[in-house]
Amino acid sequence: MTVLVEELSVFAGDRPLVREVSFEVGEGERVGLIGESGSGKSLTALAVMGLLPEELTATGSVRLHGNELLGASERVLSGLRGDRMSMVFQEPMTALNPLMRVGRQVAESIKLHTRISWRAARDRAVELLESVQLSGVARAYPHQLSGGQRQRVLLAMALANDPGFLICDEPTTALDVTVQAQVLELIVAGIARRSAGLLFITHDLAVVARVCERLLVMHDGRIVEQGTTREVLTEPRHEYTRGLLAASDLEAA
Ligand SMILES: Nc1ncnc2c1ncn2[C@@H]1O[C@H](COP(=O)(O)OP(=O)(O)OP(=O)(O)O)[C@@H](O)[C@H]1O
Protein backbone atom coordinates (compact mmCIF):
# COMPACT_ATOMS: atom_id res chain seq x y z
CA MET A 1 0.00 0.00 0.00
CA THR A 2 1.40 3.39 -0.98
CA VAL A 3 -0.72 5.63 1.25
CA LEU A 4 -3.05 4.58 4.03
CA VAL A 5 -5.12 7.25 5.77
CA GLU A 6 -7.11 6.21 8.83
CA GLU A 7 -9.61 8.31 10.75
CA LEU A 8 -7.92 11.55 9.77
CA SER A 9 -9.54 14.61 11.32
CA VAL A 10 -8.49 18.25 11.05
CA PHE A 11 -9.56 20.81 13.64
CA ALA A 12 -9.59 24.58 13.98
CA GLY A 13 -9.57 24.73 17.78
CA ASP A 14 -12.27 22.21 18.63
CA ARG A 15 -14.18 22.77 15.37
CA PRO A 16 -13.76 19.76 13.04
CA LEU A 17 -13.14 20.67 9.38
CA VAL A 18 -12.22 17.13 8.24
CA ARG A 19 -13.94 14.30 10.08
CA GLU A 20 -12.54 10.80 10.46
CA VAL A 21 -11.58 10.34 6.84
CA SER A 22 -10.16 6.94 5.84
CA PHE A 23 -8.90 5.86 2.42
CA GLU A 24 -6.01 4.23 0.69
CA VAL A 25 -4.12 4.73 -2.55
CA GLY A 26 -2.31 1.70 -3.94
CA GLU A 27 0.78 1.58 -6.12
CA GLY A 28 0.00 3.03 -9.55
CA GLU A 29 -3.60 3.73 -8.54
CA ARG A 30 -5.42 6.93 -9.54
CA VAL A 31 -7.92 8.05 -6.93
CA GLY A 32 -10.14 11.12 -7.25
CA LEU A 33 -11.28 13.23 -4.31
CA ILE A 34 -14.38 15.16 -5.30
CA GLY A 35 -16.88 17.37 -3.50
CA GLU A 36 -18.10 20.94 -3.47
CA SER A 37 -16.03 23.91 -2.43
CA GLY A 38 -15.37 23.91 1.33
CA SER A 39 -16.00 20.17 1.78
CA GLY A 40 -12.46 19.60 3.10
CA LYS A 41 -10.58 18.27 0.05
CA SER A 42 -7.60 20.62 0.24
CA LEU A 43 -7.22 20.28 4.00
CA THR A 44 -7.17 16.50 3.61
CA ALA A 45 -4.36 16.82 1.05
CA LEU A 46 -2.40 19.31 3.15
CA ALA A 47 -2.73 17.07 6.23
CA VAL A 48 -1.35 14.12 4.24
CA MET A 49 1.62 16.23 3.09
CA GLY A 50 2.22 17.65 6.58
CA LEU A 51 1.54 21.14 5.24
CA LEU A 52 -1.40 22.26 7.39
CA PRO A 53 -1.25 25.88 8.53
CA GLU A 54 -0.10 26.24 12.12
CA GLU A 55 -3.51 27.12 13.54
CA LEU A 56 -4.96 23.74 12.49
CA THR A 57 -4.34 20.36 14.12
CA ALA A 58 -4.73 16.83 12.77
CA THR A 59 -5.50 13.53 14.47
CA GLY A 60 -5.62 9.98 13.12
CA SER A 61 -3.03 8.28 10.99
CA VAL A 62 -1.36 8.89 7.62
CA ARG A 63 1.09 6.23 6.50
CA LEU A 64 3.34 6.40 3.45
CA HIS A 65 4.83 3.01 2.57
CA GLY A 66 4.03 1.96 6.15
CA ASN A 67 5.72 4.95 7.84
CA GLU A 68 3.57 7.18 10.05
CA LEU A 69 3.63 10.82 8.92
CA LEU A 70 1.19 12.42 11.33
CA GLY A 71 3.24 13.86 14.15
CA ALA A 72 6.54 13.24 12.27
CA SER A 73 9.14 15.99 12.64
CA GLU A 74 9.45 18.75 10.05
CA ARG A 75 12.91 17.41 9.24
CA VAL A 76 11.48 13.99 8.35
CA LEU A 77 8.55 15.50 6.42
CA SER A 78 10.66 17.90 4.39
CA GLY A 79 12.95 14.99 3.51
CA LEU A 80 9.94 13.15 2.08
CA ARG A 81 8.21 16.07 0.37
CA GLY A 82 9.42 16.60 -3.16
CA ASP A 83 11.09 13.20 -2.97
CA ARG A 84 8.89 10.24 -1.92
CA MET A 85 5.69 12.31 -2.20
CA SER A 86 4.91 15.56 -3.93
CA MET A 87 2.08 17.89 -4.79
CA VAL A 88 0.94 20.08 -7.69
CA PHE A 89 -1.28 23.02 -6.77
CA GLN A 90 -3.83 24.97 -8.79
CA GLU A 91 -1.92 28.20 -9.31
CA PRO A 92 1.50 27.65 -10.89
CA MET A 93 2.63 31.29 -10.74
CA THR A 94 2.60 31.39 -6.94
CA ALA A 95 4.51 28.09 -6.71
CA LEU A 96 7.35 29.20 -9.00
CA ASN A 97 10.09 31.70 -8.19
CA PRO A 98 9.53 34.58 -10.67
CA LEU A 99 13.20 35.56 -10.58
CA MET A 100 14.74 32.20 -11.44
CA ARG A 101 14.96 30.41 -14.79
CA VAL A 102 12.65 27.39 -14.83
CA GLY A 103 15.42 24.91 -15.68
CA ARG A 104 17.30 26.02 -12.58
CA GLN A 105 14.14 25.57 -10.46
CA VAL A 106 13.70 22.00 -11.68
CA ALA A 107 17.43 21.33 -11.09
CA GLU A 108 17.13 22.71 -7.53
CA SER A 109 14.29 20.34 -6.73
CA ILE A 110 16.59 17.46 -7.74
CA LYS A 111 19.60 18.86 -5.84
CA LEU A 112 17.54 19.19 -2.65
CA HIS A 113 17.25 15.43 -2.35
CA THR A 114 20.10 14.00 -4.41
CA ARG A 115 23.86 14.34 -4.20
CA ILE A 116 24.69 15.07 -7.83
CA SER A 117 26.60 17.86 -9.53
CA TRP A 118 24.87 20.98 -10.80
CA ARG A 119 25.77 19.96 -14.30
CA ALA A 120 24.11 16.54 -13.94
CA ALA A 121 21.07 18.14 -12.25
CA ARG A 122 20.76 20.63 -15.11
CA ASP A 123 20.92 17.86 -17.72
CA ARG A 124 18.31 15.88 -15.80
CA ALA A 125 16.12 19.04 -15.58
CA VAL A 126 16.23 19.40 -19.37
CA GLU A 127 15.20 15.74 -19.75
CA LEU A 128 12.37 16.18 -17.25
CA LEU A 129 11.14 19.28 -19.08
CA GLU A 130 11.22 17.34 -22.34
CA SER A 131 9.17 14.56 -20.72
CA VAL A 132 6.37 17.10 -20.13
CA GLN A 133 6.74 18.33 -23.71
CA LEU A 134 8.69 21.45 -22.84
CA SER A 135 11.77 21.52 -25.00
CA GLY A 136 14.00 24.58 -25.11
CA VAL A 137 12.40 26.43 -22.20
CA ALA A 138 14.97 25.70 -19.48
CA ARG A 139 16.38 29.24 -19.76
CA ALA A 140 12.98 30.96 -19.69
CA TYR A 141 11.61 32.81 -16.68
CA PRO A 142 8.13 31.85 -15.44
CA HIS A 143 6.46 35.02 -16.80
CA GLN A 144 7.68 34.13 -20.32
CA LEU A 145 5.61 30.91 -20.28
CA SER A 146 1.87 30.31 -20.65
CA GLY A 147 -0.24 29.03 -17.75
CA GLY A 148 -0.23 25.50 -19.19
CA GLN A 149 3.55 25.58 -19.65
CA ARG A 150 4.06 26.78 -16.08
CA GLN A 151 1.86 23.99 -14.77
CA ARG A 152 3.97 21.50 -16.75
CA VAL A 153 7.14 22.94 -15.17
CA LEU A 154 5.60 22.27 -11.76
CA LEU A 155 4.68 18.77 -12.83
CA ALA A 156 8.29 18.19 -13.93
CA MET A 157 9.46 19.42 -10.50
CA ALA A 158 6.93 17.23 -8.69
CA LEU A 159 8.07 14.16 -10.65
CA ALA A 160 11.78 15.03 -10.52
CA ASN A 161 12.72 12.54 -7.82
CA ASP A 162 10.37 9.77 -8.95
CA PRO A 163 7.90 10.05 -6.06
CA GLY A 164 5.79 7.04 -5.11
CA PHE A 165 2.82 9.29 -4.42
CA LEU A 166 1.58 12.48 -6.08
CA ILE A 167 -1.26 14.78 -5.02
CA CYS A 168 -2.74 17.15 -7.59
CA ASP A 169 -5.10 19.80 -6.18
CA GLU A 170 -7.22 21.27 -8.99
CA PRO A 171 -4.15 21.27 -11.27
CA THR A 172 -6.00 22.25 -14.42
CA THR A 173 -8.81 24.46 -13.12
CA ALA A 174 -7.06 27.66 -14.20
CA LEU A 175 -6.35 26.36 -17.72
CA ASP A 176 -8.45 26.39 -20.84
CA VAL A 177 -9.97 23.11 -22.00
CA THR A 178 -7.48 22.02 -24.69
CA VAL A 179 -4.48 22.82 -22.51
CA GLN A 180 -6.26 21.06 -19.64
CA ALA A 181 -6.47 17.81 -21.62
CA GLN A 182 -2.76 17.90 -22.43
CA VAL A 183 -1.73 18.51 -18.81
CA LEU A 184 -4.03 15.69 -17.61
CA GLU A 185 -2.45 13.28 -20.08
CA LEU A 186 1.03 14.23 -18.91
CA ILE A 187 0.06 13.71 -15.26
CA VAL A 188 -1.31 10.25 -16.04
CA ALA A 189 1.73 9.34 -18.17
CA GLY A 190 4.16 10.69 -15.53
CA ILE A 191 2.73 8.65 -12.69
CA ALA A 192 2.23 5.53 -14.85
CA ARG A 193 5.92 5.57 -15.77
CA ARG A 194 6.82 5.57 -12.07
CA SER A 195 3.96 3.30 -10.85
CA ALA A 196 3.16 6.14 -8.45
CA GLY A 197 -0.16 6.48 -6.63
CA LEU A 198 -2.20 9.60 -7.44
CA LEU A 199 -4.70 11.51 -5.33
CA PHE A 200 -6.44 13.88 -7.70
CA ILE A 201 -8.59 16.65 -6.20
CA THR A 202 -11.17 18.47 -8.25
CA HIS A 203 -14.77 19.52 -8.32
CA ASP A 204 -14.86 18.80 -12.07
CA LEU A 205 -16.55 15.43 -12.67
CA ALA A 206 -15.61 15.34 -16.35
CA VAL A 207 -11.96 15.56 -15.33
CA VAL A 208 -12.15 12.75 -12.77
CA ALA A 209 -14.03 10.57 -15.23
CA ARG A 210 -11.02 10.91 -17.48
CA VAL A 211 -8.24 10.51 -14.97
CA CYS A 212 -9.37 8.40 -12.02
CA GLU A 213 -10.12 4.72 -11.50
CA ARG A 214 -11.65 5.18 -8.08
CA LEU A 215 -13.47 8.07 -6.40
CA LEU A 216 -13.92 9.41 -2.89
CA VAL A 217 -16.81 11.83 -2.43
CA MET A 218 -16.45 14.42 0.34
CA HIS A 219 -19.23 16.37 1.92
CA ASP A 220 -19.00 18.53 5.03
CA GLY A 221 -15.61 17.11 6.03
CA ARG A 222 -16.59 13.45 5.62
CA ILE A 223 -16.16 10.87 2.88
CA VAL A 224 -19.78 10.01 2.19
CA GLU A 225 -19.24 7.59 -0.67
CA GLN A 226 -16.45 5.73 -2.41
CA GLY A 227 -16.25 3.25 -5.26
CA THR A 228 -14.96 2.80 -8.77
CA THR A 229 -15.37 5.88 -10.95
CA ARG A 230 -17.96 4.04 -13.00
CA GLU A 231 -19.99 2.99 -9.95
CA VAL A 232 -19.98 6.42 -8.38
CA LEU A 233 -20.78 8.29 -11.58
CA THR A 234 -23.41 5.93 -12.93
CA GLU A 235 -25.00 4.48 -9.78
CA PRO A 236 -24.40 6.99 -7.01
CA ARG A 237 -25.71 5.67 -3.70
CA HIS A 238 -25.51 8.78 -1.59
CA GLU A 239 -28.02 11.56 -1.99
CA TYR A 240 -25.23 14.15 -1.95
CA THR A 241 -23.43 12.44 -4.86
CA ARG A 242 -26.66 12.35 -6.84
CA GLY A 243 -27.02 16.08 -6.30
CA LEU A 244 -23.42 16.65 -7.37
CA LEU A 245 -24.03 14.69 -10.57
CA ALA A 246 -27.29 16.45 -11.31
CA ALA A 247 -25.57 19.81 -10.86
CA SER A 248 -22.78 18.91 -13.27
CA ASP A 249 -23.15 18.82 -17.02
CA LEU A 250 -21.60 15.36 -17.18
CA GLU A 251 -23.52 13.00 -19.42
CA ALA A 252 -24.11 9.61 -17.81
CA ALA A 253 -21.18 7.41 -18.93
N1 LIG B 1 -6.85 27.89 8.27
C2 LIG B 1 -8.16 27.67 8.42
N3 LIG B 1 -8.81 28.04 9.56
C4 LIG B 1 -10.13 27.81 9.71
N5 LIG B 1 -10.91 27.21 8.77
C6 LIG B 1 -10.32 26.83 7.64
C7 LIG B 1 -8.92 27.03 7.39
N8 LIG B 1 -8.62 26.55 6.16
C9 LIG B 1 -9.77 26.06 5.65
N10 LIG B 1 -10.80 26.22 6.52
C11 LIG B 1 -12.20 25.80 6.33
O12 LIG B 1 -12.20 24.38 6.21
C13 LIG B 1 -13.20 23.96 5.29
C14 LIG B 1 -12.59 23.02 4.25
O15 LIG B 1 -11.67 23.77 3.44
P16 LIG B 1 -10.93 23.13 2.19
O17 LIG B 1 -10.03 24.20 1.64
O18 LIG B 1 -10.33 21.84 2.55
O19 LIG B 1 -12.14 22.88 1.18
P20 LIG B 1 -12.09 22.35 -0.32
O21 LIG B 1 -13.04 21.23 -0.40
O22 LIG B 1 -10.69 22.09 -0.73
O23 LIG B 1 -12.65 23.59 -1.11
P24 LIG B 1 -12.17 24.26 -2.51
O25 LIG B 1 -12.65 23.32 -3.58
O26 LIG B 1 -12.86 25.57 -2.52
O27 LIG B 1 -10.67 24.37 -2.42
C28 LIG B 1 -13.81 25.22 4.70
O29 LIG B 1 -15.02 25.49 5.37
C30 LIG B 1 -12.78 26.29 5.02
O31 LIG B 1 -13.39 27.54 5.21
pLDDT at 247: 83
Ligand 1, CB within 6 Å, residue ranges: 12, 17, 35, 37-43, 53, 55-56, 203
33-37, 92-96, 100-104, 130-134 — which is least confidently predicted?
92-96
Q: How far from 249 is each of 31, 37, 167, 207, CA to CA, in Å?
A: 21, 17, 25, 12
pLDDT at 94: 82
CB atoms within 10 A of CB 116: 14
At a CB cut-off of 8 Å and minimum separation 6, what does 145 contact? 102, 137, 153
Distance 170 CA to ligand 1 centre (A): 14
H-helix or E-strand containing 63? strand 56-64
Percentage of the residues of the chain whose pLDDT score is greater than 90: 85
Residue range 80-96: mean pLDDT, rounded = 89
pLDDT at 252: 46
| Domain ranges across the chain | 3-247
Three-class HEC string of 48-60: HHCCCCCCEEEEE
pLDDT at 253: 44
pLDDT at 178: 86
Judged against a pLDDT cut of 90, whether residue 70 lies above it is answered with yes
Residue range 60-87: mean pLDDT, rounded = 94
Report the phi/psi class of residue 65: left, alpha or beta, with left for phi > 0 and alpha for psi in -120 to 50. Answer: left
Instruction: Tell me the per-residue pLDDT of 230-248, one tens digit each, with 9 for 90 and over.
Output: 999 999 999 989 988 888 8
Choice from 17, 18, 57, 167 to test ligand 1 binding pocket (greatest atom count within 8 A of CB)? 17
Domain 3-247, second-level architecture: 3-Layer(aba) Sandwich (3.40)
The predicted model scores a pTM of 0.93
Distance 149 CA to ligand 1 centre (A): 28
**Nearest-CA neighbor of 193 among 123, 127, 122?**
127
Answer with the residue of higher pLDDT: 90 or 66: 66
Confidence at 250, pLDDT banded by 50, 70, 90: low
Confidence at 109, pLDDT banded by 50, 70, 90: very high
The one-letter amino acid at 13: G
CB atoms within 10 A of CB 187: 25
Instruction: Tell me the per-residue pLDDT of 172-230, one tens digit each, with 9 for 90 and over.
Output: 988 888 899 999 999 999 999 999 999 999 988 989 999 999 999 999 999 999 999 99
Q: How far from 101 is each of 33, 145, 167, 170, CA to CA, in Å?
A: 33, 11, 25, 25
Judged against a pLDDT cut of 50, whether residue 25 lies above it is answered with yes
